Amino acid sequence: MFKRNPYLAVIGFTAVFGFSFVFSRAALGRLDPFHLLALRFLFAVVLINLLRLLRIIRIERAGSIKPLLAIGLIQPILYFSLETLGIHHTSAAISGLMVAVIPIFTLIFARVFLSEKPNRYQLAAMFVSIAGVALIGLNYGEAANVSMLGLMVLLGAAVAAAAATVMSRWLSRSYSPLTITYAMMHMGLLAFLPMALASLAGSGSDNPLKAFLIPLLEPPILGAVAYLGFGASVAGFFLLNYALAHLPSYKVGVFDTLTTLIAITAGVVFLGERLTPIQIVGGIGIVVGVWGAQYFSKMKVRT
């Protein structure tokens, strides 16, 4: 089905990622960021290895693992560290707004690494998005759920996501989407599990492993972690990597605006979050700017 129409994979991962901000925000009310990330990737690794043992999926044996290690350091390790910390200091809705700038950074990386030069219309659209981010930042003091630290961290996450998008597109020439996803999930677990256990031990826990697992007895936490691990991590990243294997990165990036709209709507509807009028105007500026940058794009990504 996806092979005939890879855009179905794009729509799938944007929907999954859009709702992930709500589940992350809900779980962060009970868990610290790295505890949540460790549980998330534990679930992801268990699922993807179970599917492999049952021969539902097949992971190709990679030649050199260095490129896979490189993308794993950027995403999930750097990206999710910044994203989760950003959500912790802002809200699901604001985090969703900041995701919309990822395609802008993707265009910048394409210019640097693929020698592709944005035209003047794309540059104008980029400034519209940047102005939207600035409006949100300038208004942060009027909203209790936004901090300047959170906004800066989320911008860093957007840069990391753009870098990972370009890198995944490049890696798709040598590795299958499942192989890339498999490496990413294990890199996440290897990074975040020791950090979570060390944090729990440092907080005075006599049994860090028990303290690590005990929150899963709470149904809301278990549900959130299951969605983030099984859905957003394994399914979401497989769909993303699959789409990048069949479509240019800038075409995939345009759908980040859909992720933004889903995240904002879900945050307002399910978490009762509030956006100020200035933040709404800033969000519209971000979305319009990204749309314009893609609409006027004449890029041809190297394959």
CB count in 10 Å sphere of residue 34: 22
Average pLDDT, the chain: 83
Burial of 291 (0-12, 13-18, 19+ CB in 10 A): middle
CB 135 within 8 A of CB 285: yes
- Please compute the mean of the pLDDT values over residues 107-122 and round it to a whole number: 71
State yes or no: pLDDT of 241 exceeds 80. Answer: yes
State yes or no: pLDDT of 154 exceeds 70. Answer: yes
Among the residue ranges 122-131, 231-240, 241-250, the one predicted with the least confidence is 122-131
Confidence of residue 300 (pLDDT cuts 50, 70, 90): very low
CB 68 within 8 A of CB 180: yes
What pLDDT is attached to residue 1?
54
What pLDDT is attached to residue 224?
96
- Please compute the mean of the pLDDT values over residues 91-120 and round it to a whole number: 72
Higher pLDDT, 161 or 116: 161
Instruction: Report pLDDT digits (tens) over 162-216.
Output: 899 888 888 888 899 999 999 999 999 999 999 999 999 988 888 999 999 999 9
Q: Which helix (H) or strand (E) holds 168?
A: helix 148-171
Residue 146, token pair as written in the block:
């936004």
CA–CA separation, 271 and 286 (whole Å): 23
pTM (2 decimals)? 0.81
Confidence of residue 51 (pLDDT cuts 50, 70, 90): very high
What pLDDT is attached to residue 145?
57
Residue 183, token pair as written in the block:
């490496």
CB 64 within 8 A of CB 249: no
CB count in 10 Å sphere of residue 281: 16
State yes or no: pLDDT of 57 exceeds 50. Answer: yes
Higher pLDDT, 1 or 36: 36
What pLDDT is attached to residue 220?
94
- Amino acid (1-letter code) at residue 247: L
CA–CA separation, 86 and 149 (whole Å): 8
Confidence of residue 2 (pLDDT cuts 50, 70, 90): low
Residue 2 CA from chain centroid, whole number: 21
State yes or no: pLDDT of 3 exceeds 70. Answer: no
CA–CA separation, 133 and 97 (whole Å): 9
Instruction: Report pLDDT digits (tens) over 70-86.
Output: 999 999 999 989 988 88
CA–CA separation, 214 and 28 (whole Å): 15
**Using the 8-state DSSP alphabet, how is residue 217 labeled?**
G
What pLDDT is attached to residue 229?
96
Q: Which residues of 142-167 are buried (b: 16+ CB within 10 A; e: fewer)?
A: ebebbbeebbebbbbbbbbbbbbbbb
| SS3 per-residue string spanning 251-301 | HHHCCHHHHHHHHHHHHHHHHCCCCCHHHHHHHHHHHHHHHHHHHCCCCCC
